[in-house]
Amino acid sequence: MPAPAVEIRDLWFKYAGASEWTLRNLNLRVEEGEFVVVMGPSGCGKSTLLYILTGIIPNMIKGEIRGSVYVLGRDVLKLPPSEIVKNVGFVFQNPDSQIIMPSVYEEVTFGLENMGLPPDEISRIAREVLEYTGLWEKRDLSPWSLSAGERQVLAIASALALRPRILILDEPTSMLDHKDTMRVLKLISKLKEELKMTIIVVEHRIEWAVEVADRVVIMENGEFIAQGTPAEVFSRVDVIKRSGVRPPMIAEVFYYLIERGCRVDRIPVTAREGLEVLSRVLSRGVCA
């Protein structure tokens, strides 16, 4: 059995100087190739969790950690950042916090140069990544002449250039407008489908999440209050209703019908599933 991509056991975390635990007793196992969407209200600990997976905690931000976190079988709490970045790519909420170079091309090659790759290899990878993300034509431009969405795509491209096996993204669309959001979400879906990468993303767009996620994790007050396939998670009506998370609209339709006596074996979460279940129910004329 290969080691899971991520294995978190009984994880607790408290920021230095804080009186309360930010993360409380988290357990999670993510297999390689899985697509996990983490959701939860602001301040619930989502970003803190990602900081631990990427080594930002404890290397740059200090605090008290209990429990264990293994990434691809290695204890990330003990690994230096230089080792973590070989396997784990991180994309921040705000692309501007990670863009530093004067051109799109150099932004992508920066990390590769730091890793000491030979120049031929660097230009080959940079071209491949920029073509893949649709930024090749803009390679000579300043990142600051790009739209916010293109800068986010560039941040993703720079992360991809390092060939991580796991890509972690923290609310990559929250600062973007509608069009740019669609572009970034499409790219992330493509990484899953074509590259079979392990992806862990914090994202609020629920209708997108239920289409792409193998697993949804819902966080509140530092705890995981639900995890499983989108269908499993959104079937837990009470937990979802109590949480700050917006369920897919079609799931909410079924919450309403179930309260009025409708019986279904599973709650649909995507439009396609909703259509299937409702066509069946309507053709029978009864909801049972």
Partner 1 sequence: MSEPLISVENVWFKYTKKQDWVLRGVSLEIKRGEFIGVIGETGAGKTTLAKHLNGLLKPVKGRVLVLGMDTRRTPTSKIARHVGYLFQNPDSQIYSATIRDELSVGLKKLGFRDAEIEERIKWALEVVDLKKPLDMSPHVLSFGERHRLAIATLLAIKPDVFVLDEPFAGIDYKRSLQLLQVFKELTKKGHAVVLITHDLQLISELATRVVFMKSGVILRDSKPEDVIGDVEFLESNNYTPLQVTVIGVKLGLGRPIRVVDLARELEKRLQL
**Binding positions for partner 1, rule: CB under 8 A:** 40-43, 174-175, 177-182, 204, 207, 243-246, 248-250, 252-253, 256-257, 260-262, 270-271, 274-275, 278-279, 281-282, 285-287
Of 7 and 223, the one with the shorter C-beta distance to partner 1 is 223
**Three-class DSSP category at 266:** coil
The helix or strand, by DSSP H or E, that contains position 51, with its residue range, turns out to be helix 46-53
Amino acid 101 reads M
Q: At its nearest, how many Å lie between partner 1 and the CB of residue 280?
A: 11
CB of 209 to partner 1, least distance (A): 12
CB-nearer residue toward partner 1: 34 or 171: 171
Given a contact cutoff of 8 angstroms between Cβ atoms, the answer to whether 143 and 103 are in contact is yes
Looking up tokens 């209990």, which residue turns up? 66
Residue 90 CB, shortest distance to partner 1, in Å, is: 20
Q: What is the sign, positive or negative, of the torsion defined by CA atoms of 276, 281, 283, 284?
A: positive
Closest contact distance (angstroms) between CB of 49 and partner 1 is 16
Question: What six digits make up the tokens of 71?
Answer: 């990434």
CB 14 within 8 A of CB 21: yes
Q: Report the residue number, 120 or 265, with the smaller CB distance to partner 1.
A: 265
- CB neighbour class for 278 (10 Å; exposed up to 12, middle 13-18, buried from 19): middle
* Least distance between partner 1 and beta carbon 216 (Å): 15
Burial of 174 (0-12, 13-18, 19+ CB in 10 A): middle
Sheet with 223-228: strands ordered across: 88-91, 166-170, 198-202, 35-39, 215-220, 223-228
The length of the chain is: 288
Cβ nearer to partner 1, comparing 120 with 179: 179
Q: Looking at beta carbons only, is 34 or 150 nearer to partner 1?
A: 150
CA dist 165 and 201 (Å) reads: 14
Judged by beta carbon, residue 69 or residue 202, the one nearer partner 1 is 202
> Closest separation between CB of residue 36 and partner 1, Å?
19
